[in-house]
């Protein structure tokens, strides 16, 4: 019984620590754009990364499912679990409506892609070093 209570306490404290860590994990939305006056909202970002249109012509690039920044993005911006997002994209792809954003292996490759492709947009950890060629459009605390 004592062992079980200890295990429960450990699990809960680990979970609480992870949740706090996720809540404190800030994100930046960066884009390769000539127009530095673009104003973009969290809702615009959600729509764009779920394949919807917004006022600005930007194409989303994403990180792989296991990436921590992606998990935080799903939680704070999309508001859906990874599995629901995967099933949504299966519905979009196999109904011929939309295709999921291009996926990069890691943040380094993602930054390289952003630098090379005008009009691309992605989320990164606020801790990342953002190259001068890219514009930070939004910070999500």
- Which parts of this chain interact with other proteins (CB under 8 A)? 41, 43-44, 46-47, 50, 52-55, 57, 65-66, 75, 79-84, 86-88, 90-91, 93-97
Sequence length of the chain is: 141
Q: Which of residues 35 and 96 has its CB atom nearest to other proteins in the complex?
A: 96
How far lies 3's CA from each of 8, 13, 16, 20, 43, in Å?
9, 15, 20, 26, 46
The nearest distance, CB 123 to other proteins, in angstroms, is 17
Instruction: Decide: 121 and 59 in contact? Cβ < 8 Å.
Output: yes
The nearest distance, CB 67 to other proteins, in angstroms, is 11
The nearest distance, CB 4 to other proteins, in angstroms, is 20
């Amino acid at each position: 019984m004592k062992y079980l209570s200890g295990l429960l306490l450990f699990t809960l404290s680990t979970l609480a620590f992870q949740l706090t860590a996720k809540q404190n994990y800030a994100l930046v939305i960066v884009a390769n754009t000539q127009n530095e006056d673009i104003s973009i909202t969290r809702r615009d970002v959600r729509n764009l990364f779920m394949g919807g249109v917004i006022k600005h012509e930007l194409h989303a690039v994403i990180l792989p499912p296991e990436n921590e920044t992606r998990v935080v993005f799903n939680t704070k911006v999309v508001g859906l679990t990874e599995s629901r997002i995967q099933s949504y994209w299966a519905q979009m792809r196999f109904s011929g409506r939309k295709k999921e954003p291009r996926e990069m292996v890691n943040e380094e490759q993602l930054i390289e892609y952003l630098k090379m492709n005008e009009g691309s947009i992605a989320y990164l950890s606020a801790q990342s070093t953002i190259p001068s060629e890219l514009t930070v459009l939004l910070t999500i605390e």
